[in-house]
């Protein structure tokens, strides 16, 4: 039986499923889409099906702004790729793929700083990484075995953003809407929508998340089988050449 473990992590929930057995082969699955497109919900549903899965949020890798004043921090464009520590995430993904543990930052969205604490994350067969700007970084895209883009209507995404920021990040409705109009949507059109072309799978809004997760599960398992068959074929070829 699998044992789900959930940890609060700087406003980002980290979910891990521990199965009876594990595999040394790591697959990294990237879920990208606009703010409020349902990435985290899908990531959790997919992790339940895959088992031996770890969900990571790109939001945990925002840069520490402790060197700035509160006024200066409020003026930072958090929807720009420059606001994220992509090199650290790349190092962490590479380490997880090698079976190593990593110290994921704990980010405080109310102060825009990293905590002195970190969250130790172990390697799993499946790493499910979700984030708005995942596909904006070629160095991250190259590490993703499966790239999924979630395409959701703007009005729906805004309503979800309002609910999250008001309840989880101590924001006011006015500040959320202002940020949406000044940076979130402009950056979405500039850095998120154009990179949907890098996805292996585009998920349109409509079907229940459980159905979408099951469809992705089948595709990922099929990819696993294909790669296992290819690896076995190469091994047999090498043995034949050695004779």
Is the pLDDT at 240 greater than 70? The verdict is no
pLDDT in tens, 81-129: 999 999 999 999 999 999 999 999 999 988 999 999 999 999 999 999 9
The string of DSSP letters for 97-157 reads HTT--EEEEEEETTTTEEEEEEEEE---SEEEEEETTGGG-HHHHTT-SEEEEEE--HHHH
Q: What average pLDDT is seen over the chain?
A: 86
Q: Which pLDDT score, from 0 to 100, does residue 170 have?
A: 80
Lowest mean pLDDT among 19-33, 55-69, 101-115, 175-189: 19-33
d(CA 33, CA 151): 6
pLDDT in tens, 127-147: 999 999 999 999 999 999 999
Topology of the domain covering 3-206: Rossmann fold (3.40.50)
Q: Please state, for a pLDDT cut of 70, what percent of the chain lies above it.
A: 84
d(CA 57, CA 11): 10
Q: Which pLDDT score, from 0 to 100, does residue 68 have?
A: 96
Q: Which pLDDT score, from 0 to 100, does residue 7 have?
A: 44
The dihedral built from the CA positions of residue 156, 161, 162 and 163, taken in this order, carries a sign that is positive
**Using 50, 70 and 90 to split pLDDT, how confident is the model at 154?**
very high
* pTM of the entire predicted model: 0.82
**Using 50, 70 and 90 to split pLDDT, how confident is the model at 20?**
very low
Is the pLDDT at 18 greater than 60? The verdict is no
Mean pLDDT score, 34-53: 94
Is the pLDDT at 200 greater than 50? The verdict is yes
């Amino acid at each position: 039986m699998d044992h789900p473990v959930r940890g609060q992590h700087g406003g980002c929930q980290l979910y891990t499923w521990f199965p009876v057995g594990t595999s040394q082969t790591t697959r990294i699955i990237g879920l990208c889409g606009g703010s409020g497109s349902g990435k985290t919900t899908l990531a959790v549903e997919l992790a339940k099906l895959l088992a031996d899965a770890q969900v990571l949020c790109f939001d945990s890798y925002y840069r520490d702004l402790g060197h700035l004043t509160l006024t200066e921090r409020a003026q930072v464009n958090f929807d720009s790729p420059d606001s994220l520590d992509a090199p650290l995430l790349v190092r962490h993904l590479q380490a997880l793929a090698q079976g190593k543990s990593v110290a994921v930052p704990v980010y405080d969205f109310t102060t825009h700083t990293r905590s002195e604490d970190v969250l130790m994350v172990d390697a799993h067969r499946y790493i499910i990484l979700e984030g708005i700007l995942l596909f904006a970084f070629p160095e991250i895209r190259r590490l993703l075995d499966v790239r999924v883009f979630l395409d959701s209507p703007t009005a729906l995404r805004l309503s979800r953003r309002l609910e999250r920021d008001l309840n989880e990040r101590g924001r006011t409705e006015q500040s959320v809407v202002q940020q949406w109009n000044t940076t979130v949507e402009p950056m979405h059109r500039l850095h998120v929508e154009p990179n949907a072309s890098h996805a292996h799978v585009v998920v349109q809004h409509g079907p229940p998340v459980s159905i979408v997760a099951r469809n992705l599960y089948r595709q990922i398992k099929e990819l696993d089988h294909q790669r296992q068959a290819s690896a076995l074929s190469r091994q047999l070829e090498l043995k034949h050449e050695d004779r």
